[in-house]
Amino acid sequence: MVPKWFIGIIGVTAIGLGVTIGSAATSEALAKGTPTDVAVELGAEGLTPSRTALVAGQPYRFVVTNTDAATHSFILEPADASNTPLTMENKQAEADGIATGQTASVEWTFSEPGDYQMADDRAAKSEPGLVSQFVVVPADTPTLTVQLGDFSVTPGSTELQAGKPYLFEVTNTGAATHEFVVEPATAVDEPLTKVANGAKVEAEAEDIAPGQTKVVLWTFPTPGDYQMACHVPGHFEAGMKAMFKVVP
C-alpha cells in the first residue's frame, strides 16, 4: 500500500522529470546535430513549408506530405533552377513518387548560404505553383528565440543592430493561435515592409499554432524604437507586445 503523499511526490517528480528530460534532450539533440524538421505540405495550392529561412551548416529534415490528388516529387535546388537537385557526395536532395496521402522525408545540410527553392519540377512546367523559394543564411547569423505565450511576447533580445540580418525563430508556447508582427513602437498592426525579388514582404508570421515555430528573417535599415506584437483580435490589448531598440 503506497501512502497518498508518496503518490503526490511521485506525481510532481514525474512532471519535473518530464520537463527536465525534454529540455536536456533538445540541447543534446542540437549538440549531436539531430535534424530540425521542416514540415512541407504539397497540396493543390502548391508547396507550403513551415520555415522559409534556414541556417547553413545545420541539418534539416524536410517532412513532405502530399495532400494533392496527384503523385508528386520533391526536390531542393538553387533558386530559379529547373530540375537540378542539390547533390552532396553521392546523395541527391530529392524524393520521388510521393503518392496522395503519403509522407516522404529528405535530410539535408546546406553547405552554402544563398537563395534556394523546393519544387516538384516534373510538374512545374504545367503547374508553376509547385515551387516555393527559401533562403539559407550564413551560420553566424544571429538568431533570436522569441516566445509567444497567452498573452505575452518574450523578445529574446531588446537591442539589435541596424543593417544586420536577424533570424527570428518564433515559437508559440501558448494554447491560443498567435501571430508575430514587427513594427514601429508607436504603430498598431503596421508591419515593416521591404521589397525582395520585386515582391512586397512584410515583417510578420501569421497563424502560428500552439507548439509551432515560424521564422522571419529581417534586417533593420533604420535605428529606432520597435515592437514585436500579436494582432489577433484582443491579444495586443491583453499585453502581447515587447519593445526593442535598433541601434546604429
Are 35 and 79 in contact, with CB atoms under 8 Å apart? no
Which of 76, 176 has the CB closer to Cu ion? 176
Binding mask 212-241 for Cu ion (x = CB under 5 A): ------------------x-x--x----x-
Are 228 and 182 in contact, with CB atoms under 8 Å apart? yes
Q: How far apart are CA 215 and CA 94, in angstroms?
A: 23
Q: How far apart are CA 110 and CA 136, in angstroms?
A: 7
CA distances from 71 to 43, 75, 96, 123, 233 (A): 10, 14, 9, 10, 39
Which of 240, 246 has the CB closer to Cu ion? 240
Which of 37, 206 has the CB closer to Cu ion? 206
Which of 102, 145 has the CB closer to Cu ion? 145
**93 contacts Cu ion (rule: CB under 5 A):** no
Name which of residues 168 to 197 contact Cu ion (CB under 5 A).
178
Least Å distance, CB 232 to Cu ion, is 4
Q: How far apart are CA 236 and CA 241, in angstroms?
A: 6
Least Å distance, CB 80 to Cu ion, is 36
In the block, residue with C-alpha cell 543534446: 28
Least Å distance, CB 170 to Cu ion, is 11
Which of 116, 180 has the CB closer to Cu ion? 180
Least Å distance, CB 178 to Cu ion, is 3
User: Which DSSP symbol is given to 121?
Assistant: H
Least Å distance, CB 202 to Cu ion, is 17
Which of 72, 178 has the CB closer to Cu ion? 178
The alpha carbon of 199 is separated from its chain's Cα centroid by a whole number of angstroms, namely 20
Least Å distance, CB 130 to Cu ion, is 32
Sheet of 59-66: strand order equals 46-49, 36-43, 59-66, 103-109
Closest CA to 78 of 36, 128, 24, 131: 131
Least Å distance, CB 230 to Cu ion, is 3
User: Which DSSP symbol is given to 140?
Assistant: T
Name which of residues 9 to 28 contact Cu ion (CB under 5 A).
none
Site size for Cu ion, by CB under 5 A? 5
The sign of the torsion formed by the CA atoms of 28, 92, 49, 182 equals positive
Which of 75, 182 has the CB closer to Cu ion? 182
| Residues of this chain that bind Cu ion (CB under 5 A) | 178, 230, 232, 235, 240
